[in-house]
Each structure stands twice: as structure tokens, then as C-alpha cells.
Amino acid sequence: MPPADLSSLPTEATSYLLRQALADRVAGVLIGSALGDTIGLYTEFLSAADAATAYPTRRFTLCGPKNEGPTLFKLDMHRAPKEPGHWTDDTDHALLLLLSFLLTASTDLPPDKQPLPTQADLAKRLRVWVRQGLPPLDTLPLGLGRTVGSIVASAGFDTSPEAVAREYWERTGRVVAPNGSLMRTHPLGVICLFREEREAFALAAEISRVTHVDPRCVVACVIGTGLVRGLVNGEVRDWHGVEGVVERGVEWYVKEGKQGGDQDWKEDDWEHLQSYVGRKVGLDELKLDEHGAIGYVYKTLGSGVVLLRMAMERLGNGNEGFPQKGKVFEELITDLVMHGGDADTNACFAGALLGAYLGYSALPGHWKHGLKHGDWLSGKVEALCRALGLLDGSYAGVHDPDTEIYGGKYPISDDEMEQRWMLLQADVAAKMDKSAKAEALKAPTSNPWLRWPLPWPPKTRKRG
């Protein structure tokens, strides 16, 4: 795997090949996470048992051969507003950070001198998203979590987001530690690709605290960002490297990242973390569909770390051929989402880690080519790679309207937003009605003449 310091590369040809490898892994992070999010929507909020009943083949596809469309959702009020191939709020929020970085990015600056996303800019973008969705794509703000929704709607969030988030945390008894900040911070690992690990840790902690100040949330974001950075730049190659990031992330938090109002990190805290990310932890031990606890941040962190370890084990002993790598992402993400729970968030984070390790080229084609808005996302990945010096060509975010707070458009009026919500509600009602009628046709009955359409010729009668 290539080193992070491109200036040390010996020849122009070697430099080109290594930059291409890095770019492949950067794309793997951002598109892999979107794919995990998209596939996770199929089983989000289901138990493992219900997921097995809803999807008995354990196979998901977003695009298939000529007459084979994407795998259909188990249709309910949660999934009905979306179509197969759409990512959720998890990827939307990660894109807010990416767009924040791209706004001030320019190929005129070295990769390690690009301005970094700030709390203030993310707060403004979250305010816009909560009201009208992701402006560049005109998508609605579906899937808004309780913690983010409550904090973003609070007075003063625009100017002092961390203070508002801390007040909310204190008011809820310091026990709330959901995964809403971990789901968005993986782009920071790529943004900090050519920066010191400690700088990546610090940025991850700062961005987490825009909405999530609980130490468990902060530590999870620190570790997740460090893992993405280390996997892409080649510092993390095996399980020993993973453990190193976890240990250094906690050490950084204890010595430098802990805020005045946070409790001291204790041995029990380390043991609790290890019960989710330790060497012997598997998906079953994470209890991902545990009632009342599916959104716990360490479950999501553990999901990614466990799948990363499994991928490393499968590709160990020199078994790193492309066909094998091409299977690993799909099989592991499928195993993860079939455990149910907060499946889209778990798979979003896990998809980022697997994408960083395996690269874009190893992502399943029938997933990445069926991703809605996939071309748009690929364009932003290309812009990021140019800003980081991994691809040739120029880029200046000031000339890209998508990076602006409102995506280069006017704010949507309240009346127009109300109309959009009404249209969505009508569409959902029509889908649910159609689904109910289809289920009624399939309902068993003892009298074949009561089925519609009628069987012809009836199996209970003889001809002539």
C-alpha cells in the first residue's frame, strides 16, 4: 500500500500508479458508505428474524439484467417514501461535510493546506437540511433522528452548536449516546489523508460535538476517522494496525480531547469499548437488533470494526485476488444488514471502512451502478481527489454551485415545502394501497372461486 507522503515517491510512473491506488480507496470510502447505507435501508428497524422473513434469499440487487429490476422493499411506512437505490439521511449528512470542504478547496493549495470544515459551517448546513433536505439534489429531509432534530431546532444552534448540544446532553441526563455523528464523519478521514493523525482526531472530535458531545460519541468518531485515514493511506494494513488506531484514539481523547464537563475516562470505559471492538467480538455479540438500543454509537462502531476484521481475515495469507475482493464487500454488508436494527447507519459506517480497505474497484457492480444520484456523487469524489492531488486537473469550489449552503439555488418557501410533503404523502398512500391490494390477492382461501383473478380452468373441475 502506498505511503501518504507522495513527495517521497521515486519516479513519475510510480507516483501516478500510487496516486491512482489512493484515489480508488478514496472513492471506495465515499461510495462504499453510500452503498452500505442504501442496502441497509432494506432492513432498517427490523429484527433479524423479521429481516430473514422479508428477504429469504438474502440477496439484494440495485440493478440487474434486462428484465430484472432492483430488489423490492418490504413495504411499510418507513420504506415507502424511498425507492430502491436511494441512500438515507446518513449519507446526506456525510455529504454536508464533503460539500463544506469542497466549498473552499482549490488545486492551487497543497493537500495539507486546504481549509477544513468548521462547526459553524456544518451547523448552517444542518439547519438547511432539516428544513428542506439536500439542496443540490432536491431531496427531502427523510430519516431525521430525534437527537439531531432537537438540537438543530434549538435557539442559538447557528452560532454556538457545541454549547447547544452540550446543554441537550446535560438535560437528558448524560446517558444519550446515539450514532448520529459517527454516521457522518468518515469523509474527515479522507480530508485529513495527508495530515497528522492527531489533527484528524481533533477534527473528528470537533465535528462530533456539533450535535453529539457524549464522550462515547466523540471517541467513536475519533476512532472511525482515524481508521479511514489509516486504511486509505496504507498505515493500517492488518488487525494490529486497527488495534493501534483504537488505542491511540482513546489515548488522544484522554490526554488532549476531553472537555471540562466530561467525566474522566476509566478502566471500565475501556473494557466497555473493547466489548464492541475487541478481537473476539462478532456480529452476534453486538446484538444489533436489541430492543431500545439499536442506535447506540458503539454498536455502529463495532459493526464497522468487526466487518473490517472479517475482511482482513478472508483476504489474509496472500489471498488478495480481485475476484475474492469483489465478493467480500457484498457478502459482509449483506450479513450485517440481515442482523437488522439500525442497519443503514451500521452499514454506512462499515461500508466506509470496507471501501477504504478494498477500494472502489472491489465494490459490487450491481450495487454501485444502481445507486441513485451515483453519477453526481462520483463527480464530487473526483473533485475531492483533484483537491487532494490524486487526480490530474484543476478544481475550485467557489465555481461549483453545489457546494454552497443552498446548492446555488434560492431557499425553498414554506408553501412549496408543504406542497412537496403533501405530494410525498399522496405517493406513499398510493404505494401502501397498491401493496395492500396485492397482499389481499395472495391471501389464502379455501374456496378457489373466491380468488381474483379466477383460476381458469379451475383445478377443482374437469373439462367437458
Per-residue model confidence (pLDDT) at position 458 = 40
For the segment 309-337, what is each residue's pLDDT rounded down to a tens digit? 999 999 985 555 555 777 999 999 999 99
Q: Is 211 annotated as a binding residue?
A: no
Candidates 356, 357, 306; CA nearest to 332 is 306
- Confirm if 301 and 182 have CB atoms less than 8 A apart: yes
Which DSSP state fits 296? B
For the segment 236-245, what is each residue's pLDDT rounded down to a tens digit? 999 999 999 9
More confident residue, 267 or 394: 394
For the segment 39-49, what is each residue's pLDDT rounded down to a tens digit? 999 999 999 99
Per-residue model confidence (pLDDT) at position 68 = 78
Compute the 3-state secondary structure of the chain and give helix, strand, coil in percent, each to the nearest 5.
Answer: 60, 0, 40
Q: Is 90 annotated as a binding residue?
A: yes
Structural domains of the chain, with CATH: 6-87+118-126+145-382 (1.10.4080.10)
| CA dihedral angle for residue 191, residue 99, residue 381, residue 298, rounded to 10 degrees | 60
Q: Is 262 annotated as a binding residue?
A: no
Per-residue model confidence (pLDDT) at position 10 = 45
pTM above 0.85, yes or no: yes
Measured distance between the N- and C-terminal CA atoms of the chain, rounded to whole angstroms: 76
CA distance linking residue 46 with residue 54, whole number of Å = 9
Q: Is 375 annotated as a binding residue?
A: no
Q: Is 289 annotated as a binding residue?
A: no
Q: Is 414 annotated as a binding residue?
A: no
The confidence band for 338, taking pLDDT boundaries of 50, 70 and 90, is: very high
For the segment 84-134, what is each residue's pLDDT rounded down to a tens digit? 999 999 999 999 999 999 999 999 999 999 999 999 999 999 999 999 999
